[in-house]
Amino acid sequence: MERSLENFPVVGLVGSRQSGKTTLARTITKRRSKDDILYLDLERSSDLAKLGDAELFLERFKDRLIVIDEIQRRPELFPSVRVMVDEQPGQAGRFLILGSASPQLVRQSSESLAGRIVYHELSPFTADEIDPALSGRLWCRGGYPPSFLARSDGQSLRWREAFISTYLERDIPGLGLTLPASLLRRFWEMVAHSHGQLLNSSKIGASLGVSAPTVKRYLDLLQDTFIARQLQPYHPNIKKRLVKSSKVYMRDSGLLHALLRIPNEDVLIGTPHAGASFEGWVIEQILAILPPAWQAYFYRTGAGAEMDLVLVRPGSEPVGIEIKLTKSPSIGKGFRQSMSDLGCRQAFIICPANEAFPLAPQVEVLPVAELGKLTGFLFSLS
């Protein structure tokens, strides 16, 4: 991100609340003199008041890096940022903007800051950032720093429950959306119970008493705020009946377990949700380290052939990923058929094995701790 500040006038850092954006921004700014930084937190009424006339206030700080935290609370600031950037063409590192609602941020900035801004997404802790011995804790508690680093499972769970309440009661209204917190909570719980499954908007809508388009709007809201992920199906040019619905996942496994009322790892392993939970958790670990230009999908045919994750890049053969919660994985008929359908030259099975090993020609087993090998393979195809 520091390299981006050296090359772009505006750098955007986005991610869910409590993922560490503010901590990262303050770490970067500590390396500069206090006189070279202006830090504005838009959750503070005093900082909001300063921006009553944004251009008048900000023009006094043309020689500083201006950091604006939670900028989605004042999207009308983007035109003022553009004006200041254009007054000093060629000057990099003018603004560092932090936000918790990526699509809204992108829509606003794309209208005003095209060609002037680069975005980085900061996810909560991922497996490549922690001691491999703690991967079980990361899976159970999720990656939000206060949850992962909590002194006990009970303290971690209480933090996640408080996060959910704050999101429903403060964050959503803070985005200008008037949705009943109780209804959105019920919807969120339904998404948790649908984790890793094909989205059935009509079924969820019938349970909530709302329409299928309303369900889609609610799910878009969770995705826009980095809470949920909709994984799209891959449609290669083959003559087979393919699934068209997306699969839905909770992005943070700890929030998923809080909504499913799973208190610790011992209970998690014994629940029927364990396999789907592990699948979604591994998918997030992979997407966090996916090289640029690679896109992720899933593959499923009407006949039952399925691949949990298909990694695609123009000019390269698709790479297949299967995720299994077992130390002794095997290759099923649907997996082999999917490799044939997709033309995969290489596939990987990700599981809680102790070490990597070849399982069959063109199929390698990888433990989560060795996902760097997958990244290296993808870069070798780039």
pLDDT value, residue 140: 97
* DSSP letter assigned to residue 34: G
The per-residue DSSP string of 96-156 comes to: EEEES-HHHHHHHHHHH-TTTEEEEE--S--GGGS-GGGHHHHHHH-S-HHHHT-SSHHHH
pLDDT value, residue 115: 81
d(CA 276, CA 256): 11
Question: Locate tokens 């007054």: which residue?
Answer: 87
**Whether the Cβ atoms of residue 350 and residue 108 lie closer than 8 Å to each other:** no
User: In tens digits, what is the pLDDT along the chain, a chain of 382 residues?
Assistant: 678 888 889 999 999 888 989 898 888 888 777 778 899 998 898 998 898 888 888 888 888 899 999 888 888 888 888 888 888 888 888 999 998 876 565 666 767 787 888 888 899 999 999 999 999 999 999 999 999 999 999 999 999 999 999 988 888 877 767 778 888 899 999 999 999 999 999 999 999 999 999 999 889 889 988 999 999 999 887 667 777 899 999 999 999 999 999 999 999 999 999 999 999 999 999 999 999 899 999 999 888 889 999 999 988 899 999 999 999 999 989 999 999 999 998 999 999 999 999 999 999 999 999 999 999 998 888 6
Q: Choose among 300, 302, 334, 335: nearest CA to 320.
A: 335
Q: State both tokens at 364.
A: 């390698």
Angle of the 201-208 helix axis to the 181-193 helix axis, nearest 10: 140
**Whether the Cβ atoms of residue 78 and residue 107 lie closer than 8 Å to each other:** no
pTM of the model: 0.91
pLDDT value, residue 300: 92
pLDDT value, residue 382: 67
Q: Phi first, then psi: what are they for 114, rounded to 5°?
A: -55, 130
Q: Phi first, then psi: what are they for 261, rounded to 5°?
A: 60, 45
pLDDT value, residue 318: 94
For residue 106, CA distances in Å to 197, 198, 257, 339 come to 28, 27, 30, 36
Domains of the chain, with CATH numbers? 2-121 (3.40.50.300), 127-288 (1.10.10), 290-382 (3.40.1350)
Handedness of CA 351, 249, 196, 375 (dihedral sign): negative
Handedness of CA 196, 199, 203, 207 (dihedral sign): positive
d(CA 47, CA 33): 21
Q: State both tokens at 324.
A: 């299994």
Q: In the beta sheet, which residues pair with residue 309?
A: 321
Q: Choose among 21, 20, 144: nearest CA to 71.
A: 21
10 Å CB burial of residue 118 (0-12, 13-18, 19+) is: middle
128 CA to centre of own chain: 15
